[in-house]
Amino acid sequence: MSTLTIEGGRRIEGRVEVEGNKNAALPLIAACLLTDEWCTLSNMPRIADVEVMARLLVDVGAEVEGIGSTTLRIRCANVTKDEPDSALVGRLRGSVLLLGPLLARRGRAVVAPPGGDFPARRSIKTHLEALTAMGARGMPGAGHCLEAADGLKPASIYLDEASVTGTETALLAAAAAPGVSEIRHAACEPHVVELCEFLLAMGVGVTGEGSHTIRVEGMARPRGASKQLYGDYIEAGSWAVVGAITGGHVEIGGTRPLDMEVVASVLTRMRVNCVQDNDVFRVEASKLIGAGRITTGLWPGFPSDLVSLVTVLATQADGATLVHDWMYELRLFALEQMSGMGADLFLCDPHRIIVTGPRRLRGKSLDSRDIRSGMALIAAALAADGQSRVEPLETVERGYSKVVERLQKLGAAVAKI
């Protein structure tokens, strides 16, 4: 287990380039299982979750080149197993995305309970219902055991929630089911659109991407394809908060203006001096004010993945901000630690927290309980007086590439122990 030590009180200055969207990378890797031809994925984020997903493919028989780099080449000519390594599965919630492709290639899939952030509170009921609608049936056994001996069948599906990974599971299964499937109440996030674009490149018919109704014309064996991932707007928003909370100047390259609108909207309400210039998002020193109320929403609403970061930013804003994350119950609990740093926080319930600022923060030992709250606590420590320790750093490294080196490059006094 590693610890990040942080000497706070320094302005963050410089430029950082974001890599591909973590939430697009995992379903794209899973999609490579649908074909026996080579696939190439570029601008991949060099993060722990991507490495785990790549190694899961290796475990079931795939050839994977470039693990740990920004370009992966994958060929799944021979899928030799339908039960991925349970230890790897237990480290990654995204491993549930293997169910559909394994059913398509092997007629059977046995996946242990997925891990990741808050595994006990995040159901995969939507995924299983979609696969059942396409002909899979449950079998007795530990974890999630499914069989589709006669192959997956096209279906008309209504998802009980607009789950991102649930939509992706349905898309991956429909791509391998010859005929036309329709997925209604689908998620619209940019990373779902990226999966649709990759499936189109593989020869699968897809229409309606980016809307709540997606039609898929599946095929028995898609062809190999290439895809360059778009820059991760969640990572970009995280670096924007790091710059704003320290009163610094940060340029964030590799961003898409359309994706950054949801980030810029809330930052602008907090009077963060920010501007989009082609693929560069700039943040300047700003006098922050409370936003009144920030509520998460399905795309194109404000993303839950950024709620921890804006909550931390609100501790340095003049006035009160009510942050309401109706999607997840546990993100805000991790931020209660900041009361010991001097933050004025009132946790109303598992979904709502009131932050009143500005309050001068002081260094403290902090526990990174999930990827996003871990990065948010790093931002708080950068703004605090004195030394802080954030651990385990590995939690943050699951979603942020080379976070220590990037912080150091921006002038932060940090060290990994």
Residues that are catalytic: 117
Q: What is the DSSP letter of 304?
A: G
Q: What are the φ/ψ torsions at residue 163 (nearest 5 degrees)?
A: -70, 135
For residue 213, the cross-strand partners are 184
- Up-side HSE of residue 23: CA atoms within 13 Å toward CB? 20
- Sheet with strand 387-391: strands edge to edge: 365-367, 387-391, 4-7, 413-416
What does the alpha-carbon distance between residue 402 and residue 17 come to, in Å, rounded to a whole number?
11
What does the alpha-carbon distance between residue 210 and residue 61 come to, in Å, rounded to a whole number?
33
What does the alpha-carbon distance between residue 174 and residue 156 come to, in Å, rounded to a whole number?
10
What does the alpha-carbon distance between residue 303 and residue 265 come to, in Å, rounded to a whole number?
12
Nearest to 222, CA basis, from 237, 207, 205, 235: 205
Tokens representing 98 are 């293997």
Amino acid at 57: L
What does the alpha-carbon distance between residue 229 and residue 194 come to, in Å, rounded to a whole number?
7
Angle CA(135)–CA(136)–CA(137) in degrees, nearest 5?
Answer: 115
- C-beta of residue 155 within 8 angstroms of C-beta of residue 11: no
Residues counted in the chain: 417
Cis omega (within 30 of 0) for bond into 358: yes
What does the alpha-carbon distance between residue 199 and residue 175 come to, in Å, rounded to a whole number?
7
Q: At which residue do the structure tokens 């940019």 appear?
A: 190
Other CB atoms within 10 A of residue 162 CB: 18
Burial class (CB in 10 A: 0-12, 13-18, 19+), 203: middle
